Amino acid sequence: MRGDNLVAKLQEKVNILEVTRQTFNQVTVLVDRNDLPLAVKTLYYDMGGWLATMIANDERSINKNFALYYVLSMEGGKMFEGDELAQEDKCFITVRTLIPQNETTFPSVTPYVPACVWYEREAYDMFGLVAEGLPDKRRLVLSDDWPENLHPLRKDAMEYTHRPDVYDHKDEPSYPFLRPEGENVIDVPLGPLHITSDEAGHFRLFCDGDTIVDADYRLFYQHRGMEKLAENRMNYDQMGYLAERVCGICGYAHSIACIEAAENAMGVEVPLRAQALRIICSETERLHSSMLNIGLACEVTGNMTGFMHMFKIREYSMDLAQIITGGRKTYGNIIIGGLRRDITSEEIKKAIALVNKIDTQLTEFWEATMSDKRQVGRWEGVGVLDRQVARDFSPVGPNLRGSGFNRDARYDHTYGFFKHIEFKISVEHGGDVLSRETVRYHELKSALYTIRQCLELMPNTPINLGENLYHTPVRAESYAFGYDEAPRGDNYHWIMQGSTQKVYRWRVRASTYANWPSLRYQFRGNTIADAALIVCSLDPCYSCTERVTLTDIRSGKSKVVGEKELKALCINPKEDITKDIR
């Protein structure tokens, strides 16, 4: 089984207490919490691992402990040619450690593996687990005025049913941005609300003249509590719907990762036709997502012609989604063990014709863009992601592949129908905006080729397991994760099963979460005018929500406004929706 040799090598340096296996390429090792930093560092730097995700979990009802799971993708450091594991050795190794319920501290891994910093900050916010030696102990996910001893993802936090007391905004806590020293350094705020994004993100640029010396940022202005919502409330088919709402652009990729996490934990094998259709839908999503980013990268630099032309082509990808799934977004189609909707032979012919049309127009667009010296000049040399910074922080997707790393879940940990088709990874070496957008262009061409292959090789099998699914046993407290290569990079969804057909713990790691920590290094040395472009080239996804909370500061009352009231307000802007909280 994959990973056995690597686990044996790790055993030579660290005392492994227990080894368990989730799938053929997912293995977990249990270590003492004092050995945690050494185990993760050894796997990360010495044995060619990359940090995929980290999960904190409240397992007091299971074993009277909290638990941490550091998931490493073992594929080789890839810093130079030949620094890569053989395909048969690539796997995922999870380092698990238990933390006693009355001693909620553990040694921080961040000083040894910088990529862990956000995960360990979040472990404190959500579970109250303190990483001793963590260089950055600021809050990450929760607001600055959140009650100090309330940690939302602890199981006993369910007893807390009221929102925190309303506070006077005059005394609002100030987030401690990490400001560099220097007499000539000035602070330039970008956001929280700004024209480059529909969502909130506060970037603080520290500048010497027009040059950015350093940067810091405060995110998580919107937190929907989706992981908490899933606990003991939803079955797995409902989880697919929820996962699609993680992101408005790559929701299908999240749904696949979430459902495959459950399928891996249950040992479910999906029929080949469903695998092929899942790939078609996910690559269609890559089309409209990456075309959106390339168009925006033109718009941010003032090239509205390029933006509008790309959006004209992007519209065909929405038509393709409608042919395949019946809707312009590829949502509502995934279930445990397969899909809800099949595709007909006539629809296959229409889809192939549309793929060929997109292919031709996309080539014409890119050739015209690359012949525009002003556009290329605005992208070239801007926002460089250094290779060593990338190695230290484990970013993902085009953001990483633009810096010369051939990391791609479809290539390193081939899944689903990708095992039956040709696939070539796209890599550029400049590390700048131009390299990242070039990677996206080549991935668009690859996505079209992938969709065409799947349509032409469509297997003649059922699209789901039907009644056979209900004979699959559910093992309480078993866990596994699902993953896929979303347009922005790989997504990971980790699920531990409860005692019924419901979730005990669901952990979502979206691709942008892995890309944020290294962004400050991409700002450095660039001008203020390039800041919006650098953020755009990351293709960030902040968050989105369908509900808001209104609070009257004078009365101290609050009210959750749902979908119906928001729609009523859109129809009649004079509608008073605050009268109940005065």
Report the alpha-carbon distance of residue 40 to residue 69 in Å, rounded. 10
Instruction: Determine the Cα–Cα distance for residues 132 and 312; give it in Å rounded to an integer.
Output: 52
- pLDDT on residue 246: 85
Residue 230: pLDDT band (50, 70, 90) is: confident
* Cα gap 306→285, rounded to integer Å: 21
Angle at alpha carbon of residue 328, lines to 221 and 467, rounded to 5°: 95
Give the pLDDT band (50/70/90) at residue 567: low
Which element (helix H / strand E) includes 306? helix 304-325
Distances (CA, A) of 375 to 211, 300, 349, 435, 437: 21, 11, 37, 13, 12
**Max CA separation in the chain (angstroms):** 71
CATH superfamily, domain at 226-538: Cytochrome-c3 Hydrogenase, chain B (1.10.645.10)
Q: What is the mean pLDDT of residues 273-290?
A: 96
Q: Give the pair of three-digit tokens for residue 571.
A: 């129809």
**Which range, of 13-27, 145-159, 516-530, averages the lowest pLDDT?**
145-159
Q: CATH 1.10.645.10 occupies which residues in the chain?
A: 226-538
Say if residues 522 and 387 touch (Cβ distance below 8 Å). no
What is the reported pLDDT for 549? Answer: 38
Query: Which residues have C-beta within 8 Å of that of residue 8, sequence separation ≥ 6?
Result: none
- CA 156 to chain CA centroid, Å, is 27
Which of the pair, 492 or 203, is modelled with greater confidence? 492
**How far is 481 from 467, CA to CA, in rounded Å?**
24
Enumerate helices (H) and strands (E) in the chain, giving the number of each: 19, 17
Please give the helix or strand (H or E) that residue 56 lies within, else none.
Answer: strand 49-59
DSSP string, 97-131: EEEETT--EEE-STTT-GGGHHHHHHHHHHH--EE
CA distance 252 to 483: 12
CA distances from 306 to 288, 364, 580 (A): 15, 12, 48
pLDDT digits (tens, 9 = 90+) for 290-319: 999 999 999 999 999 999 999 999 999 999
Asked if residue 277 has pLDDT above 80, the reply is yes
Q: What is the DSSP letter of 555?
A: T
Mapping DSSP to helix (H, G, I), strand (E, B) and coil, where does residue 535 land?
A: helix
Residues 43, 27 contacting (CB under 8 angstroms) = no
* Amino acid identity at 373: K
**Band of residue 572 on the pLDDT scale cut at 50, 70, 90:** low
The fold for domain 4-158 equals Beta Polymerase; domain 2 (3.30.460)
From residue 226, how far is each of 164, 246, 262 by CA, in Å?
A: 19, 8, 17
Instruction: Decide: 556 and 166 in contact? Cβ < 8 Å.
Output: yes
C-alpha span between 431 and 522 (Å, rounded): 9
Distances (CA, A) of 529 to 192, 212, 382, 413: 17, 10, 11, 39
- For residues 45 and 76, give the distance between their C-alpha atoms in angstroms, rounded to a whole number: 9
Q: What percent of the chain has pLDDT over 90?
A: 67
Q: Is residue 427's pLDDT more than 80?
A: yes
Q: Where in the chain is the domain with CATH 3.30.460.80?
A: 4-158
**Could you read off the pLDDT of 94-152 as tens digits, one per residue?**
999 999 999 999 999 999 999 999 999 999 999 999 999 999 999 998 887 777 888 88
Is the predicted pLDDT of residue 171 greater than 50, yes or no? yes
Q: Round to whole Å and give the CA distance between 420 and 10.
A: 33
pLDDT over 70 percentage in the chain: 88
The lowest-confidence range among 136-145, 348-357, 541-550, 565-574 is 541-550
pTM greater than 0.95: no
